[in-house]
Every structure is written in C-alpha cells, then in structure tokens.
A and B are shown apart, each in its own frame.
Chain A
Amino acid sequence: MTGSFLKRNPSVPVVLGLLLLGTLAVAAMAASGGLSTSFVKTLGMTLCLALAALAMDLVWGYAGILSLGNIAFFALGGYMIGMWLMTARTEIIVAESLAGQAIPATPQEIRDAVGGQIFGVVGSADFPAIWAFSGSLPAQLALVVLVPSLLALVFGWLAFRSRVTGVYLSILTQAMTLALALYLFQNDAGLRGNNGLSGLQNLPGLSAVPQATVSLWFLWGSALALGLGYLLCAWVVSGKFGAILRGIRDNEARVRFLGYPVEGFKLAVFTLSAAITGIAGALYYPQAGIVNPAEMMPIASIYLAVWVAIGGRGRLYGAVIGAIAVSLISSFFTSGKLPDLDLGPVRLVWVDWWLVMLGFSFVLVTLLAPKGLGGLVDLWTQRRRPERHGADLGPDTGAFREKEAEA
C-alpha cells in the first residue's frame, strides 16, 4: 500500500527529504551563529505559510473552491493559541506580584488582576466569556482545530447547500473574512480589538530560554507540521477521494449525476483545509509575536491564493514552493538592504517599487506561466502528457484543465 502511495505521489519523499535537509542545515547554521534569530523566525513562519498554502491548494487546486476565507482560519488558529499564551504568561506574572502582599489573594482577585493586565490595554478588566478555557492548554489546542473547522463547516454547509460556486463563492468567503475582521476590530468582541493578542513569542514559564532557542523549536515544529500536513494532503488527494475532488473541480454537474454527494465532499475538504490552516496559524503567530484583525483583511486572503497560483495550483509541492519563494523574496526586497537604483529621471527605491513588481509578476505568471513555478519541475521530470488527441476535459474549451488534470 505504501509503495503505491509513494508511486502515486513521487513528490512526497523529495519534499520531505528537502524539508528535513533544509531544516537541519538551518538549525546547524543557527547553532554556529551563522544565521540571525530574526532570519530563523522568518524561515519558521515561512514554513507555516507554506502549510497554509498547502491547505489552500487542497481546496482550490484540487476541489476548485477559491476560498478567500482561509486567512480567517489562519488568524483564528493564532487567536486560539494566543489566548492561552497570554493568560498563562500573565498568570505567572500576577502570581509573582501578588505573592508579595500581606494577605493572600482570593481566586477572584487573581482572576481580576490577570484580567486587568490583559485587558487594561483596552480599558477593561473582566474576562469576556470567550476566554472561559483560556487557562487550559489542551482546551485551547483543541480550539485551534475546532473553531476554524466549525466556522468552515457552518459556512460551507450554508454555501454549498445553496450551490454557491465559482466566483460567487470567492466573493462570499471574502465577505465572511471581512465581517470577521471588522467584528474582531471591535473591543466588544473581547479579543482586545485592534491591538489583538501580543507578546506571543514569550512562552509562559520559559522566560529564561533565549529567543534564539525558542525560534529553533518553532522552526522544527513548523517543519514537522508541514511534513505531516504534506503527507496528509498527499494521501487525501491520491486516493478515490482525491479523484472525486478533481472530478468536482472539472465538472461538478457530472459528478453529481454520477451519484456522488458533491456537497458532502466539498464540505469535507473545506473543513479539513480550515483545520490545517488553523494549525498553521497557531504555529505562525507565536513566532510573529502578535495576532490582530488586520491579519485577516481581504487583501491578505488574496495573497494566500497568489502564492498557490505562483507556485502552481493543483500540485501540492507547487503551493509549498510558491509560498516559500514569494514570502522570502518579499522579505528580501522590503529589508532595505538593497541599494536604490538611480535610473535618471526615476529613482528606483526597492521598498516602494517592490509592490509594483510583485503586482505585475502576478499578471505575468497568470498570463505566461499558468502552471506557476511548479511548471519548472515538469521541464525537469519531462512528464508525459496523457494523449487525448485534443479532446476536451470539460466544457470550458480554453481552460488549462487538461494540463492540470495530470497532477
């Protein structure tokens, strides 16, 4: 069985091997002082983004659902773990400070003091109801998966049931993301409004451990999550389930006529994608240090799609390559390390012009390289196309679906 799995997914050993080698190399270089902590963090976060892109590819590249709501799941995962990180860390601080007092504090006083520390920033001192489980790590870890999945389940059920598809679904998911972001912006939402949850890089009880070490832990954690996520996604898309997903993508009506419960399949893959994205977010934000509603503004969700598109949708390694390439190049260009170019009348300030270049590169990739960077792999592996003698895969004659169907 394993043999056939690997046969159907030749990319799995390659990707996992490269991931392991890369992480080992980075860890070794960081240990020898060759890499700065901030770069290790950037790499760790990039791996989380790659995991989110993987989940995006699962719904978009394989099931044809361009979900612009995945970034909301990502941020929600971060919020869930952030609630525990903040509460636990603050409890330690408060316990230390109250220990010095003449009279031992009542549980209520401790809770008030913790609340005051966390919510003082937004002018409040009470724990909102949604923080009920924030003191328990297992509960919040469960919520990391449950909250995004549940949101995806409810939203997906509503949307798929009424057969909202294609572009409409994209716009609807984007509206959902916007609504959630606007809701979280309000202080009344109980998640500290625009400030969000911050100081997440300081792990409770581990204040003595330097960030250089913590960043390596997270690098390994992120690499492990990406590896497992890749295996899971590869397994999902390679079996019968994956075949039906591709069928839905290429012609939903036909699959439905064949008797498959299309809505159920879509709902399952959408929910799975949300759960994976939530986990990615929960690993990402402790490295970023802060999670707030601006993270899920509509533009961010489109970025996620862009990574997949640039990497090459409909192939799992494409998503990984896209996310890693774009976010690393992006952080290179915005670092301010590149000297400005003087081109006579125009002075090319990279920090300014980077976005312009990025924007036009989207256009170029969609126009000229619809397979994305992943298409480069084809050149190398010289994969043969199934011979269809020019026949269409589906009703959309101009679609590139024939090529995508190879994946």
Chain B
Amino acid sequence: MKTRISTLAIAAGLGFAAAPAFAQDAACPIKVGVLHSLSGTMAISETTLKDTVLMLVEDQNEKGGLLGCELEAVVVDPASDWPLFAEKARELLTVHEVDVIFGNWTSVSRKSVLPVVEELNGLLFYPVQYEGEESSKNVFYTGAAPNQQAIPATDYMIEELGVEKFALLGTDYVYPRTTNNILEAYLKDQGVADADIFVNYTPFGHSDWSKIVSDVVALGADGKKVGVISTINGDANIGFYKELAAQGVSAEDIPVIAFSVGEEELSGLDTSNLVGHLAAWNYFQSADGEANEAFVAKWKEKMGGERVTNDPMEAHYIGFNMWAQAVEQAGTTDVDAVREAMYGQTFPNLTGSVAEMLPNHHLTKPVLIGEITEDGQFDILTQTDPVPGDAWTDFLPESAMLTSDWKDLGCGMYNTQTETCVQTKSNY
C-alpha cells in the first residue's frame, strides 16, 4: 500500500504525461462503489441516485477518466435492509476494493455503514439532508445539515409568513425526531411558547390523515397564524397532501413547508390543489443557470423526458465532482490523501453559487425556498448565500459546545468548553 502511494505521488509529480504509464499499474480501473437500495421500501428514492452516479461516472469517462484510468462503477443492492448495508459496504471495500462509495439514504442505513467504513478506512459520500449530530472521518456529508435547511426554513416561516404557531408533523424515525427536537429548542429560543408547538409522528406509508389535518386546522382557534413544518417521508406525503387538498387547506391560510418533498415525490401527485405550499432544499430543478439546464437535459435524455431531478442528485453531482478534483489534486485515490485534498475543494453547484468542502466534512450550500407550482415543480422564492453546514447543532444543550474539525483538530466531536476530543470515531 505504502509503495503504491509513493508511486502515485511520483506519477503525480511527473505531471499528467506520466499518468497513462501508471494506468497499466495496479489501481486501474478506479472503482466507484454505489451503495443504494434497488429493491425494498427505499428503492423509490435510491434507484434515482444509483442512476445519477452511473451517469456521473459515464460523464467522467467521456472526459478521459481520472489519472488516466477508466472509472468503473460497482453497483450492489442492500435491498433497504439496514444490516445488509453494513455487509455490502464491507463487500465493496474488501472484495471489490472500491476507492470511494456513494451511497445511503436513510440515517439508519448510514449508521449501519459507519463502523465498517471507519474500520476499513473507506470513503463515503452521503447525499441526503440529515439530522446532523454526527461526524465521521470517513464520511463526507453532501446533503444539508439542519442549519442548512430546517433552521432557515423555520426563520422563513416566522419572518416572511408571520407564523406564530407551529405544527411539526413527521414520520416516526430518526431524522424527523431529531430535526423536530432541534426545531422545538430553536422555536423556544425565538420566544414561541410550548403550547404553540404541536408535534405529531406517523408511521411510514401512513395514509389516514383526516384527523391529523383536522387537528392542525383546529390549532388556529386561538387566533395565531398556524404553519406546518413537515418532515413526512416518502409515500405518506401523497395521502397527506391529498387530504390537505380535500379539506381545502390553502397555503395562504396554513402554509406547509416540507423538508422531504421534492420533485420526485410530487411526480406521484396532482399538484393543482397544492400550489403555494412550500419546500426548503438546497436545489430545485427549476433553478436558473446553464449548468443546471445541461444537467437536467442530460438526465432527461438518459432516463426519459418525464423524469425530474432533485436535491440529493445535486448533492451527488457536487460530491462526485469534488472527489474527482481531489483525486486529480492528490494524484492518487488513496483515502487519506483524497480526504486531505477534499478540504477547501470548491465546485460550482447547480444553483449559481459555489460549494466549498469544509473541514467538518460538510458543504456550504445555499438555502432555497420554493412554492409548489401546478406542473409539479417549484417556484424559487428566495435563495440565500451559501451557508456553511454545521455537524453539531447549536440549539440542543448536549451538542452546543461540540464542533467538528478534521483538518486542524483531527477530531469530529470536539468539546470546545473542556477543549478535549470526545472521540475520534463517530457515535453510532
């Protein structure tokens, strides 16, 4: 392994011309692991990401590969089975010996994979918005942390929509639970009373929304403007929005801002009754700009005209390109070298600004708020400057004093009060 690194370093030192010579050596082709569920409940979201990575790999190969090597995608199917994620990650790293993994959607699958990538020193790019409160040396979080989606969206509701009373509706799993915990703490900081926060959790795939929507409508009885913050996941949204439409809840009366509803989810719905409800993401397909137009056109050409793009796809787009740059810069696919090269790496995102990889393994991302339109797309109302992602939220007492800095402190869970590193592995 050592020798390979030094060969690579020399190869890089000699410049690009040396690379093809190297290409005949051990590391070709460069293997890209894809760890997304292709069957089971999560296939609905994750197959799209698998196709995205395959498209990115294809693109990169058209551009001549990396370090003179072809890229080869290795696709495995963890089948929405969380233990299987760990098994497949181990298989990717030890049997296929991939250089990088793009994968996972749910938090629980990520938690399952974490010990494996840390043990085997792998490199994982995780593309989905998540609840934070985690930092792993071996994972780059290209999705939004709570301060890049949930907090700005809540601010938007308070300041722009004048919402005084909040219904936090979520599917019962970790992302909604933790996000809602953070939001409750944040709202209380903002002076919202306990009684003005209504929380409800429903199971995956819930379809009987009538009572919950009635409960939300009834919240308006004390004369305060009610808003819904939805962390409802996947299919359950279809029933939820159908019920909202049926009960005639308009976005003007009770705006709903969703963190897990994107273009993909809306494609299963007739949106004419949902116009005006909101979503907060770091990317919408409707973003202006040539890079986005090209990306969308390429996607539609590959997958079919009716397919849409969404935020996690952009996260993979940024993550993949940054990784490719870091590999070029490091002159090797060695995980430690690439990780060092990742810090400070910049790449233009699809919404017109530039994403930067921070030492805490998060990106800077702009926060976009969009209104649902009749054609199942989003009309972007506001777009902030890029916000640096924060692994540990400032709004929960347990994590307010924690920070993550893998570059200088070499620690993902650093207690700034006692100035000690709590642990260098992640908390799974």
Contact = CB atoms under 8 A, between A and B. Distances in A.
Contacts of A187: 172, 174, 177
Contacts of B75: 336, 351
B133 A289 contact: no
A196 interface: yes
A186 B173 CA distance: 8
Contacts of B422: 93, 97
Interface string A167-188: 0000000000000001001110
Given A38-B91, A289-B86, A294-B82, A123 B115 contact: no
Interface in B384-421: 396, 398-399, 415, 418, 420-421
A36 interface: yes
5 contacts: A121-B427, A192-B174, A289-B86, A289-B115, A351-B75
Contact of A290 (B111, B133, B181): B111
B86 A122 contact: no
In the A-B complex, list the 3 residue pairs whose CB atoms are closest, starting with the nearest. A123-B181, A288-B83, A194-B173
Contact of B111 (A198, A336, A355): A198
A352 interface: yes
A194 B181 CA distance: 16
A163 B82 CA distance: 37
A403 to B, nearest CB: 35
Interface string A342-366: 0000000001100100000000000
A198 B344 CA distance: 32
Nearest to B421: A97
A195 interface: yes
A266 to B, nearest CB: 32
Interface of B: 38-39, 74-77, 79, 81-84, 86-87, 90-91, 94-95, 107-108, 111-112, 114-116, 119, 133-134, 172-174, 177-178, 181-182, 201, 203, 396, 398-399, 415, 418, 420-423, 425, 427-428
A151 B177 CA distance: 29
B77 A336 contact: yes
A125 B90 contact: no
Contacts of B423: 93, 96-97, 117
A187 B107 CA distance: 14
A392 B176 CA distance: 59
A379 to B, nearest CB: 34
A38 B107 contact: no
Nearest to B83: A288
Contacts of A38: 87, 90-91, 94-95
A42 interface: yes
B238 to A, nearest CB: 20
B414 to A, nearest CB: 10
Contacts of B94: 36-38
Contacts of A192: 174
A352 B39 contact: yes
B112 A336 contact: no
Nearest to B399: A120
Interface in A79-119: 93, 96-97, 100-102, 116-117
A295 interface: yes
A89 B69 CA distance: 42
Given A97-B423, A117-B427, A288-B87, A199 B114 contact: yes
B79 A185 contact: no
Chain B CB within 10 Å — which of A93, A182, A289, A294 has the most?
A289
A85 to B, nearest CB: 11
B83 A289 contact: yes
By secondary structure, the B interface counts as mixed
Interface string A326-345: 00000100111000000000
B420 A42 contact: no
Nearest to B201: A186
A201 interface: yes
A97 to B, nearest CB: 5
A123 B415 CA distance: 18
Contacts of A312: none
B107 to A, nearest CB: 7
Given A192-B174, A193-B177, A336-B77, 17 more contacts: A96-B423, A100-B420, A117-B427, A122-B174, A122-B178, A186-B172, A195-B111, A195-B173, A198-B108, A198-B114, A199-B114, A290-B83, A290-B86, A292-B108, A334-B76, A334-B84, A351-B39
Nearest to A102: B418
A97 B418 CA distance: 10
Nearest to B420: A100
Contact of B420 (A101, A116, A125, A211): A101
Nearest to B92: A38
A334 B83 CA distance: 14
B428 A125 contact: no
A191 B38 CA distance: 28
Nearest to B425: A93
A42 to B, nearest CB: 7
B347 to A, nearest CB: 29
A37 B77 contact: no
A122 B422 CA distance: 19
Contact of B82 (A96, A196, A351): A196
Contacts of A193: 172-174, 177
A120 B427 CA distance: 9
Nearest to A185: B172
Nearest to B90: A38
A185 B108 CA distance: 12
A295 B82 CA distance: 8
A336 B74 contact: yes
Nearest to A289: B86
Contacts of A116: 398
Chain A CB within 10 Å — which of B134, B172, B203, B399 has the most?
B172
Contact of A120 (B119, B133, B173, B203): B133
A199 B398 contact: no
Nearest to A93: B423
Interface string A31-46: 0000011110110000
A147 B174 CA distance: 26
A299 to B, nearest CB: 10
A174 B90 CA distance: 33
Contacts of A36: 90-91, 94-95
A334 B77 contact: yes
B203 A182 contact: yes
